[in-house]
């Protein structure tokens, strides 16, 4: 019995000793790992480099390709870093020292779980052409719906210092406050995308002074007041989406006549008054969930006009069933350039014999799209880049001509391959 007891005690001592050795070894290993991680996070940057606080930049993309301007030290080179392009990785805070990368021309950061606010130092990036910091998490096909942006705070007024800036995209974050009037000083600004934030205030008149502005997307915010009358001076405006706000008043007269405008979304506001028939010529329109009064142009579908509060429209009918264009018009195809399908829209003021034919640049007829009698109204036809034998045609410049009685008009379009 004593013999067995001695063996048990001996095994216990040996087992306990082995456990102590394993625990000690594991502690030492953990200490080494912690020391290694600490050393890896502690970057030593040269005077010509910047640590953005995102760890070793050579490891950010998770593959053998280092980001633009990333040095062996794990820091970003001030001279060589011309763009920051990251998606679907956790970066954390957008650092204030990003303003030291003065050769940056392009910033694209999406779905990176950003926290904090947009630093004022962005105003130091005098070479910046495009800044796109957004979430992609609103049912877009390229969103993984995993890492959401929590970027908050206001839009820095210092952006107005960046004379080369053409593209601003901060949609689907949590930004608040008003749009800085300084952004209106950017004569080169082409696109402003601020949808899906908590922005408020009126749409600033200064913004409407941007002569190059082609895209204005402010949907899903809390903007109020009227659409500035001066919007009709934006000769290059192509896209406007100010849906899901608190806007009131009527559509500025002449807005429908902007020659480049093809996409208009004014839905889910408190807009009143009527809808200009010239909007019928546009590729996309949505006036739903407002307070517009009829008669409405016949070209609009119920989807485009649904949900109108017409309680203040007593005595006015909802649709003018007899409405039709007052002249023949052939509109520019959309999209243009295209591959391989484009849409041709045209207006007929009366029942007519219509011929629409595609020609190549030698004047040879390629395809006849329409050839027959049609009733008055707003019409459209697609071309899928094939000839009359339904064979694909080569890329290049094409002409399309409409003939309606004595009315004839020709326009150009470009097919890409």
pLDDT higher for 28 or 412? 412
pLDDT value, residue 317: 42
Percent of the chain at pLDDT above 70?
A: 83
Does pLDDT of 27 surpass 60?
Answer: no
The pLDDT-based confidence of 32 (bands split at 50, 70, 90) is very low
Tens-digit pLDDT profile for residues 2-25:
333 333 333 344 334 544 554 454
Q: Is the pLDDT of residue 142 over 80?
A: no
Q: What is the mean pLDDT of the chain?
A: 83
CA distances from 385 to 22, 251, 338, 363 (A): 73, 37, 9, 16
Residue-level pLDDT at 322: 45
pLDDT at position 8 is 37
Q: How far apart are CA 248 and CA 308, in angstroms?
A: 14
Q: Is residue 362 predicted with pLDDT exceeding 50?
A: yes
pLDDT (average), residues 359-379: 91
How many C-beta atoms surround the C-beta of residue 384 within 10 A? 12
pLDDT band at 164 (very low <50, low <70, confident <90, very high): very high
User: What average pLDDT does the segment 388-395 reach?
Assistant: 93
Percentage of the chain exceeding pLDDT 90: 55
- Residue 367 near residue 398 (C-beta atoms within 8 A): no
Are the CB atoms for 371 and 355 separated by under 8 Å? yes
Distance CA 272, CA 256 (A): 16
Residue 205 φ/ψ, nearest 5 degrees: -60, -35
Whole-number pLDDT of residue 324: 58
pTM of the model: 0.68
Q: Is the pLDDT of residue 221 over 90?
A: yes
- The reported pLDDT for the residue numbered 355 is 96
Top-confidence residue, 148 or 321? 148
Residues 249-267 have a mean pLDDT of 93
What's the average model confidence in pLDDT over 22-36?
41
- In three-state secondary structure terms, 295 is coil
Query: Quick one: pLDDT at residue 212?
Result: 93
The tokens describing 291, both together, are 């307070």
- Which one has a higher pLDDT value, 41 or 247? 247
Residue 327 has pLDDT above 90, yes or no: no
31-40, 86-95, 110-119, 237-246: range with lowest mean pLDDT: 31-40
Q: Are 67 and 61 in contact (CB under 8 A)?
A: yes
As beta bridge partners, residue 284 has 263
Residue 114 CA, distance from chain mean position? 18
- Cα–Cα distance, 93 to 7 (Å, whole number): 60
For the chain, list the domains and their CATH numbers: 49-305 (3.80.10.10), 329-415 (2.60.40.1930)
Q: Between 233 and 269, whose confidence is greater?
A: 269
Question: Given pLDDT bands bounded at 50, 70 and 90, which one contains residue 137?
Answer: very low
Lowest pLDDT segment from 31-45, 85-99, 110-124: 31-45
């Amino acid at each position: 019995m004593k013999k067995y007891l001695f063996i048990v005690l001996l095994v216990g001592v040996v087992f306990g000793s082995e456990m102590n050795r394993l625990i000690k070894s594991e502690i030492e290993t953990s200490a080494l790992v912690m020391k290694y991680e600490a050393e890896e996070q502690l970057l030593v940057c040269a005077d010509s480099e910047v640590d953005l606080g995102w760890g070793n930049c050579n490891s950010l993309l998770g593959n053998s390709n280092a980001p633009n301007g990333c040095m062996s030290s794990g820091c970003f080179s001030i001279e060589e870093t011309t763009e920051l392009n990251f998606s679907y990785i956790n970066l954390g805070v957008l650092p204030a020292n990003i303003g030291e990368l003065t050769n940056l021309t392009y910033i694209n950061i999406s779905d990176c779980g950003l926290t904090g606010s947009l630093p004022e130092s962005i105003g130091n990036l005098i070479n910046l052409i495009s800044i796109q910091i957004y979430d992609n998490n609103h049912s877009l096909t390229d969103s993984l719906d995993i890492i959401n942006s929590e970027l908050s705070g206001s839009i820095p007024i210092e952006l107005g210092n960046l004379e080369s800036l053409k593209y601003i995209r901060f949609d689907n974050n949590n930004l608040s406050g008003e749009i800085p009037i300084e952004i209106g000083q950017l004569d080169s600004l082409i696109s402003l995308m601020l949808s899906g934030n908590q922005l408020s205030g009126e749409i600033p008149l200064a913004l409407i002074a941007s002569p190059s502005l082609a895209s204005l997307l402010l949907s899903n915010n809390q903007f109020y007041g009227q659409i500035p009358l001066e919007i009709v001076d934006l000769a290059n405006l192509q896209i406007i989406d100010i849906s899901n706000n608190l806007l009131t008043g009527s559509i500025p007269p002449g807005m429908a006549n902007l020659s480049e405008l093809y996409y208009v979304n004014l839905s889910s506001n408190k807009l009143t008054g009527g809808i200009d028939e010239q909007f019928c010529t546009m590729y996309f329109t949505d006036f739903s969930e407002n307070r517009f009064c009829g008669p409405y142009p016949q070209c609009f579908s119920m989807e485009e006009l649904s949900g109108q509060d017409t309680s203040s429209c007593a005595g006015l009918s909802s649709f003018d069933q007899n409405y039709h264009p007052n002249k023949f018009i052939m509109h520019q195809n959309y999209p243009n350039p295209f591959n391989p399908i484009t849409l041709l829209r045209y207006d007929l003021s009366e029942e007519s014999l219509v011929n629409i034919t595609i020609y190549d640049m030698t004047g040879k007829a390629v395809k006849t799209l329409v050839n027959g009698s049609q009733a008055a109204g707003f019409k459209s036809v697609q071309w899928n880049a094939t000839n009359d034998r339904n064979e694909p045609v080569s890329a290049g410049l094409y002409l399309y001509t409409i003939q309606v009685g004595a009315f004839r008009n020709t326009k150009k379009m470009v097919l890409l391959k």
